[in-house]
Amino acid sequence: MKKDIAKELLEKENLSLVVVKDNEVIYKSCDKSIRPMYYAATSLINKARGSSIADRVIGEGAAMLCRILGVKEVYPPLISETAIQVLKEANIPFSYQECCSYIMNMKKQDYAL
């Protein structure tokens, strides 16, 4: 399963995002915030369609980008309740380790989307 490849690399290489398609890693990043997912959604949209994604944190905004990308499956160790709703509505299978009510921004001053 491609999600397993992405999940394994996420943990093994301490990455923030891994995108796998046809058993090939097409993108990986250790950048923080939503930047890696935004890059994938804007620069790899055609290449990433149908891919499997492992991302450290999936909030509502990242889930929306997964929907736009047309990903096949998602694995985040941490996911927000609103992200779960977005993924369910988009029929994107997902598994996670921990769920929270919301994701705080990096400065912990406000909610992140």
Residue 32 resides in a domain: yes
Residue 5 CA to residue 105 CA, distance in Å, equals 28
How high is the pLDDT of residue 103?
72
How high is the pLDDT of residue 2?
58
Residue 82 CA to residue 108 CA, distance in Å, equals 18
pLDDT < 50 stretches in the chain: 109-113
Residue 79 resides in a domain: yes
- Domain count of the chain? 1
Residue 94 CA to residue 88 CA, distance in Å, equals 9
Q: Determine the angle formed by the axes of helices 81-89 and 60-69, rounding to 10 degrees.
A: 20
How high is the pLDDT of residue 94?
97
Full residue range of the structural domain in which residue 9 is found: 2-100
Residue 107 resides in a domain: no
Residue 112 resides in a domain: no
- The distance in angstroms from the start CA to the end CA of the chain is 29
CATH number of the structural domain spanning residue 21: 3.40.140.30
Widest CA span in the chain: 39
